[in-house]
Amino acid sequence: MLTLASDFGSPYPAAMRGVILAQTDDVEIIDIAHDFPRQNVRTAAFWLREILPWFPPAVHCAVIDPGVGTDRAVLAVDAGEHVLVGPDNGLLAPVARKLADDEPRWYRLQEPDARSSTFHGRDVFAPLAARLHGRRNESLKSESNLVEHASPVDLSFPTPTIDGDRIVGEVLVVDGFGNAITNIPGEHLDELMGREVRVNGESVPVGRSYASVEPGARLVTIGSHQNVELAVNRGRGDAAFDLTVGDRFSLEPGVDVVEEPFEESG
Amino acid sequence: MLTLASDFGSPYPAAMRGVILAQTDDVEIIDIAHDFPRQNVRTAAFWLREILPWFPPAVHCAVIDPGVGTDRAVLAVDAGEHVLVGPDNGLLAPVARKLADDEPRWYRLQEPDARSSTFHGRDVFAPLAARLHGRRNESLKSESNLVEHASPVDLSFPTPTIDGDRIVGEVLVVDGFGNAITNIPGEHLDELMGREVRVNGESVPVGRSYASVEPGARLVTIGSHQNVELAVNRGRGDAAFDLTVGDRFSLEPGVDVVEEPFEESG
Amino acid sequence: MLTLASDFGSPYPAAMRGVILAQTDDVEIIDIAHDFPRQNVRTAAFWLREILPWFPPAVHCAVIDPGVGTDRAVLAVDAGEHVLVGPDNGLLAPVARKLADDEPRWYRLQEPDARSSTFHGRDVFAPLAARLHGRRNESLKSESNLVEHASPVDLSFPTPTIDGDRIVGEVLVVDGFGNAITNIPGEHLDELMGREVRVNGESVPVGRSYASVEPGARLVTIGSHQNVELAVNRGRGDAAFDLTVGDRFSLEPGVDVVEEPFEESG
């Protein structure tokens, strides 16, 4: 199994498929996405981390590569039962750590030989992924042309700042529905379901599902990535909260939350 | 064979693929579309009815699901030689009737166990579809966790009103070319090919193909769904007729149509 | 292996897949692209020529077909080890010549029998492609219903005009990144790497990779099609050069290029 991800749009990924299929006829190729925001390594790194772990062991070839044609390294990574292939710009760092329990092994391709300097997806990464897909199930260490790569470019996402009840988080990405996915672990909402929180000071209900509020209304929920998500039922959370990627915001319990567990009989 | 359809855009459907492939390694997965208008159950229901019957027997998993995380049922349907999986909101009703000659058998999943409340495509529907794909070719009745579901949410498309020569129809969907696909059976045009009809009172030629009129000109034709379509050769019919989804319009034979079959010799 | 390409957008291509899979259960179907500019035969012809040759031998079904339903011929082409299927409007001409070393053999389908006059992708081309995929590896000449087609509609791309050091070229297509891909062979830049050229009189650096200039800056490079490309590092070349498809422009060595190879010691 070999997955492809890129910011190439259409029709360039088809050339990558052609190259792989011309090189090996026994491969199942799966597109993760080819419409990642152009040359936005950070957003693609987030999605790769969230999506690739759902797959069975595979070779994953991901190319968001603003430095194509420069001397940035061409990477292959042993990440648990998965192999990752992509440019050395941080793109693979978060998913590699997640797949490999923090111990990925990094290699780089020696002397990449590219037909073009502008489309390494087709000319370098796809052929390398096809070759690694075809090998026996050994470590990449024994592959010719690969050498250990000591210091891959790192990329990590910020952690939220917690100050008592007040958390300052950041929007990591906005998905196609307009949900603002943040870096605050969803568990912070566990005790607040059905109540209200304040987002940048404004009261917003907390719900398990989008439909827990009226269509068009805002809510705070636990998204499918287990992070706090700022959303609107059947609408766009990013617009309604006026927050986009990289924006920071504060999250506090709502003023209306008065816990008086011992006064039930009162 | 397992097909996927949703309004998830990108890259969420890749997570569904991953889940299915991790659960079963012997499945051909085919994307119907993932860009159905967001949370528009009606439009997706139309397309599923028009497209799924072209497939050989398969499990079809369709998720347009504004009620994700609520107590709406999770459905599995015996529909002729096909199995349908999706939420109980009417989405599957038209295609189920078509595939099963009006006698689909409806089941619901007991006690869905979901990791998230916001992405049942990945956490509920995809795993169920993968499981049903892997079973032997028996009725769903014998599947554990499925129980008969007496009253699925229904959805049907309006039929046109026929009053003598005058038909009042409705635009059901507009396709990507801008063709306005209506609920009027194409057979009403059979006798009118090459002539004119009046659409909301305005004369428009009737042609078998888009190219039967000049580029940019309007025409009325029989679309690939065998319904009357309002179109523009190499242009957008919805804009030229000023009609969109849900709009009603009248269709009458043109005033210039004078049938005088017995006066040929005159 | 069977590839599909069209301007159908979504979800029509899924119906083509269904038809093919209902006809043969032993076929790998690959999407080249379905978002080619609508009814733009010329642009799609360019991309087919650039992409299909990367594939191993396959049946390629391409449908950009403004004349659907008219009497334009339905073509099948023996092109080297590949077979092409599509409408007779020039779409297949460039790729056929490239795949067949200028000697493609053209056939047309006799008496196409179509369920619709508006969706031959589903009703004519997909069934024909599926049938030709299933046949033994002989010439199309022996296929029933196919007859030789003497004069297919031709389509070719303009060649640049070369006048001494000055070349007048044309933008053939603009890709999704905004790179303006021209008809000037890249070899004209080989001696100019790292120097400057004048594009319509304005000096622009020549680089091997996009990142050879600062983000936002213009450059002239050799694209992955081995043609001269007008680009912007991490930006859109078409906008920055104010050039779009069909526009002509002049390319000359920069005024700062002074070659004095015999004065090194001076």
Task: Please state whether C42 falls in left (phi above 0), alpha (psi between -120 and 50) or beta.
Answer: alpha
Element (H, E) at B19: helix B12-23
- Global pTM reads 0.94
Give the ipTM: 0.93
pLDDT of C134 reads: 86
Q: Which residues in C176-209 are b (16+ Cβ under 10 Å) and which e? A: bbbbbbbbbbbebbeebeebbbbbeeeebbbbbb
Q: How confident is the model at residue C264 (pLDDT cuts 50, 70, 90)?
A: very low
| Chain C CB within 8 Å of residue B78 CB | no
pLDDT of C114 reads: 79
pLDDT of C260 reads: 52
Strand pairing report for B227-232 and B248-253: unpaired
Contacts of A234 in chain B (CB under 8 A): 38-39, 66
User: Are A76 and A124 within 8 A, CB to CB?
Assistant: no
* Cross-chain residue pair A117–C31, CB shorter than 8 Å: no
Which of C11, C69, C115 has the CB atom closest to B210's CB atom?
C69
Element (H, E) at C32: strand C29-33
Compute the distance between CA of residue A9 and CA of residue A37 in angstroms, rounded to an integer.
9
| Chain B CB within 8 Å of residue C27 CB | no
Which of B18, B39, B118 has the CB atom closest to A224's CB atom?
B118
* Cross-chain residue pair C66–B224, CB shorter than 8 Å: no
Written as tens digits, the pLDDT of chain A (266 aa) is 999 999 999 999 999 999 999 999 889 999 999 999 999 999 999 999 999 999 999 999 999 999 998 999 999 999 999 999 999 999 999 999 999 987 999 999 998 777 888 999 999 999 999 999 988 657 899 898 999 999 999 999 999 999 999 999 999 999 999 999 999 999 999 999 999 999 999 999 999 999 999 999 999 999 999 999 999 999 999 999 999 999 999 999 987 545 555 444 43
How far away is chain A from the Cα of B145, in angstroms, using its nearest Cα? 23
Q: How confident is the model at residue B137 (pLDDT cuts 50, 70, 90)?
A: low
Q: Which of A11, A13, A87 is nearest to A45 (CA)?
A: A87
Q: CB-based burial of residue C89 (10 Å sphere; 0-12 exposed, 13-18 middle, 19+ buried)?
A: buried
Compute the distance between CA of residue B224 and CA of residue C11 in angstroms, rounded to an integer.
13
* Cross-chain residue pair C209–A69, CB shorter than 8 Å: yes
> Alpha helices, DSSP H only, in chain C?
12-23, 41-51, 93-99, 120, 126-134, 237-241
Chosen for mutation from C60, C82, C210 (greatest number of chain A CBs closer than 10 Å) is C210
Q: How does the average pLDDT of chain C come out, rounded?
A: 93
| Chain B CB within 8 Å of residue A262 CB | no
Which of C10, C18, C67 has the CB atom closest to B55's CB atom?
C18
Contacts of C119 in chain B (CB under 8 A): 223-224
Per DSSP, the three-state class of A214 is coil
Q: Which residues in A201-214 are b (16+ Cβ under 10 Å) and which e? A: eeebbbbbbbbbbe
pLDDT, greater one: B184 or B114 = B184
| Chain B CB within 8 Å of residue C11 CB | yes
Q: CA C237, C239, C245 angle in degrees (round to 5)?
A: 80
Token digits of residue C260: 């004095």
Q: Which residues in C94-119 are b (16+ Cβ under 10 Å) and which e? A: bbbbbbbeeebebbbbeebebebbbb
Beta bridge partners of B232: B218, B235
How far away is chain C from the Cα of A212, in angstroms, using its nearest Cα? 31
Compute the distance between CA of residue B187 and CA of residue B251 in angstroms, rounded to an integer.
13
Which of C14, C68, C122 has the CB atom closest to B33's CB atom?
C14
| Chain B CB within 8 Å of residue A30 CB | yes
Q: In angstroms, how far is the first alpha carbon of chain B from the final one? A: 63
Contacts of A14 in chain C (CB under 8 A): 3, 30-33, 51
Compute the distance between CA of residue A83 and CA of residue B8 in angstroms, rounded to an integer.
27
| Chain B CB within 8 Å of residue C15 CB | yes
Q: Which chains touch C (3 or more CB pairs under 8 A)?
A: A, B
pLDDT of A139 reads: 84
| Chain A CB within 8 Å of residue C38 CB | no
Q: Which residues in A43-80 are b (16+ Cβ under 10 Å) and which e? A: bbbbbbbbbbbbbeebbbbbbbbbbbbeebbbbbbbbe
Q: CA A156, A159, A162 angle in degrees (round to 5)?
A: 170
* Cross-chain residue pair B210–C9, CB shorter than 8 Å: no
pLDDT of A135 reads: 84
Which of B51, B208, B221 has the CB atom closest to C18's CB atom?
B51
pLDDT of B113 reads: 79
Which of A8, A18, A67 has the CB atom closest to C55's CB atom?
A18
| Chain B CB within 8 Å of residue A211 CB | yes
Element (H, E) at C104: none
3-state secondary structure labels for all residues of C229-254:
EEEECCECHHHHHCCCCCCEEEEEEC
Beta bridge partners of C136: none
Q: Which chains touch A (3 or more CB pairs under 8 A)?
A: B, C
User: Are B8 and B36 within 8 A, CB to CB?
Assistant: no
Query: For B226-263, what is each residue's pLDDT tens digit?
Result: 999 999 999 999 999 999 999 999 999 987 545 555 44
pLDDT of C127 reads: 96
How far away is chain C from the Cα of A246, in angstroms, using its nearest Cα? 20
Q: Which residues in B8-38 are b (16+ Cβ under 10 Å) and which e? A: bbbbbbbbbbbbbbbbeeebebbbbbbbbeb
* Cross-chain residue pair B119–A224, CB shorter than 8 Å: yes
Q: Which of B179, B184, B182, B183 is nearest to B237 (CA)?
A: B179
Contacts of B50 in chain C (CB under 8 A): 15
Compute the distance between CA of residue C226 and CA of residue A146 in angstroms, rounded to an integer.
28
Query: For B7-52, what is each residue's pLDDT tens digit?
Result: 999 999 999 999 999 999 889 999 999 999 999 999 999 999 999 9
* Cross-chain residue pair B211–C12, CB shorter than 8 Å: no
Query: For C40-96, what is each residue's pLDDT tens digit?
Result: 999 999 999 999 999 999 999 999 999 998 999 999 999 999 999 999 999 999 999
Compute the distance between CA of residue B137 and CA of residue B229 in angstroms, rounded to an integer.
39
Amino acid at C14: A
Query: DSSP secondary-structure letter at C54?
Result: G
pLDDT of B136 reads: 65
pLDDT of B264 reads: 41
pLDDT, greater one: C134 or C64 = C64
| Chain C CB within 8 Å of residue A67 CB | yes
Query: For A193-215, what is each residue's pLDDT tens digit?
Result: 999 999 999 999 999 999 999 99
pLDDT, greater one: C136 or C108 = C108
| Chain B CB within 8 Å of residue A226 CB | yes
How far away is chain A from the Cα of C110, in angstroms, using its nearest Cα? 31
Contacts of B25 in chain A (CB under 8 A): 56
Which of C33, C50, C223 has the CB atom closest to A10's CB atom?
C33
Compute the distance between CA of residue B127 and CA of residue B39 in angstroms, rounded to an integer.
21
Task: For chain B, give the percent of residues with pLDDT over 90.
Answer: 87
pLDDT of A194 reads: 93
pLDDT of A265 reads: 43
Average pLDDT of the residues in B70-76: 95
| Chain A CB within 8 Å of residue B118 CB | yes
| Chain B CB within 8 Å of residue C118 CB | yes
User: Are C92 and C74 within 8 A, CB to CB?
Assistant: no
Q: CA C71, C75, C78 angle in degrees (round to 5)?
A: 165
Contacts of A15 in chain C (CB under 8 A): 50-51, 54
Query: For B95-112, what is each residue's pLDDT tens digit?
Result: 999 999 879 999 999 987
| Chain A CB within 8 Å of residue B176 CB | no
Q: CA A40, A181, A8 angle in degrees (round to 5)?
A: 25
Q: How does the average pLDDT of chain B come out, rounded?
A: 93
Token digits of residue B88: 């109980």
Among chain C residues, the shortest Cα distance to A127 is held by C54
**Omega within 30 of 0 (cis) for the link into B11:** yes
Query: For C168-222, what is each residue's pLDDT tens digit?
Result: 999 999 999 999 999 999 999 999 999 999 999 999 999 999 999 999 999 999 9
User: Are C132 and C85 within 8 A, CB to CB?
Assistant: yes
User: Are B172 and B183 within 8 A, CB to CB?
Assistant: yes
Query: For C209-260, what is each residue's pLDDT tens digit?
Result: 999 999 999 999 999 999 999 999 999 999 999 999 999 999 999 875 455 5
